[in-house]
Structure 1
């Protein structure tokens, strides 16, 4: 198969977990597209009634967001001790996962500005998804030890995609945080600067690039399936976000797309 030029030959377990990961993420993206949103940030505040909120166990968003990324970060860091054998590809993947989730914890603690709370159930769902996916990505990479390398080596473009993704994502998260700097104002505003003039969620676009960086570095079926699933989910989430902005701001520019400039 032509695809095998780009990836390691998968075991049945790898194929099964890859299909499951893609299906779950793509289904979540379709739910977002249809308006059934994961309840955090603006969607928790706007969609849930006061009675529903009072019945939910919640945490301050800063604590919840930092908590949900921490297990995936620890999975990346601990993999250096659990799997000390380090060919360059495995070392790059473990490093990329650790850097990515350290950045997310750092942003949650020191960069993001929050307007509400997150349900504990939502937090645990996202936490489990990130942790299990990161652990499986690492384990699937470990399972390739001793196998023949793919005919086409994508490590270098993967490193480039990862750093473009993580840098662009951080920059646009920083721009979002600046919207609420004045006097602790928690009102939502139309984001500006960077690629916000083209898409409402450029931070999602760059996050997707980062996950495709993982896939290119790893070149396992699971990493490609997870990158594709993440793309589907964030396309749905960005579509829901654009729809939310259109409903809240009469002056929101209709030419601004959801996640992909000029296309979607």
Structure 2
């Protein structure tokens, strides 16, 4: 079994990498399950402002929030800077290492540019969600790059997946961008209400942008071929599947004419 696994991934080479791999997968599973049962991260349409009370005080306290655009910029910027800094802090050779950190850097730069020029925001974002998501992306990018750096002197897996990874990454980032543009164009100038998205894969699933985001992480895991990158992709997939399930449930509750045959994230399946 071990020999079979080593055909596709670098062998685990440190307790730190193994621990972070378990944490990454476990965190995705935990947050994804919470999304399914209604405990949502505080952003987007699923942001449900809760009232907190301190001790016996009668005054309600609302969670601290920031404008959605500001919150998402905070979320993506540290991970982008980690990718950019890696070219200077961890100089190294090898196509695989170059492709991985380039892919991570491009992915988060794209997200920042979308926040600035594509997405339209109508709500606010809770600081709790900002902290959780920012740490997740920051630690994910930093650990993926560091793990690849540690693998530089190890024997390469016998099955080389990095070129398939490039294709998946390009497909994922392109499809994600396209469907983000479709979402953005749903609202005219000054409009803030939500609408049922149409066009592209929105005719089959309510969260095609999440589907393509999963392809981005799978592509990166194929490029890296490390245990951590595989666990990171699986954790991201579990979270996004939970998020898409919750999103479909939200649309069903808000729109009586929402087509029942539209799935959450996988056409015709889920």
Q: Does the TM-score normalized on the shorter chain lie above 0.5?
A: yes
Distance 1:217 1:18 in 2: 17
Shift of 1:183: 3.3
TM-score between the two structures when normalised by the length of structure 1 = 0.96
Match of 1:256 in 2: 262
Match of 2:43 in 1: 40
CA RMSD of aligned residues (A): 1.4
Match among 176, 189, 204 for residue 198 of structure 1: 204
Checking the alignment, whether the CA contact within 8 Å between 2:10 and 2:154 is kept in structure 1 is yes
Match among 175, 184, 192 for residue 186 of structure 1: 192
Match of 1:118 in 2: 125
How many residue pairs get aligned? The number is 261
Match of 1:148 in 2: 155
Which consecutive aligned stretches of 4+ in structure 1 deviate over 3 angstroms post-superposition? 49-54
Shift of 1:51: 7.8
Match of 2:100 in 1: 93
Task: List per-residue Cα deviations over 1:222-242 (Å, max 9, x = no partner).
Answer: 000000011111000000000
Match of 1:83 in 2: 90
Distance 2:8 2:192 in 1: 46
Task: List per-residue Cα deviations over 1:92-150 (Å, max 9, x = no partner).
Answer: 00100000000000001110001111112211111111001100000000010111000
TM-score between the two structures when normalised by the length of structure 2 = 0.94
Match of 1:4 in 2: 6
Match of 2:69 in 1: 62
Of 120-129 and 51-60, the range deviating more from structure 2: 51-60
Distance 1:256 1:201 in 2: 10
Of 240-249 and 22-31, the range deviating more from structure 2: 22-31
Distance 1:50 1:248 in 2: 23
Equivalent positions of 1:155-194 (< 5 A) are 155-180=162-187, 182-194=188-200
Match of 2:57 in 1: none
Task: List per-residue Cα deviations over 1:25-65 (Å, max 9, x = no partner).
Answer: 11110111111111101111xx2257899622211111110
Distance 1:120 1:39 in 2: 8
Do structure 1's residue 29 and structure 2's residue 36 form an aligned pair? no
Match of 2:20 in 1: 17
The runs of 5 or more residues in structure 1 that have no matched partner are: none
Task: List per-residue Cα deviations over 1:131-190 (Å, max 9, x = no partner).
Answer: 01100000000010111000100010000000000000000000000011x231100000
Distance 2:88 2:239 in 1: 32
Match of 1:74 in 2: 81
CA 1:27–1:51: 2 relative to 1, 3 Å? closer
Match of 2:56 in 1: none
SS of the residue aligned with 1:215? helix
Distance 2:267 2:12 in 1: 34
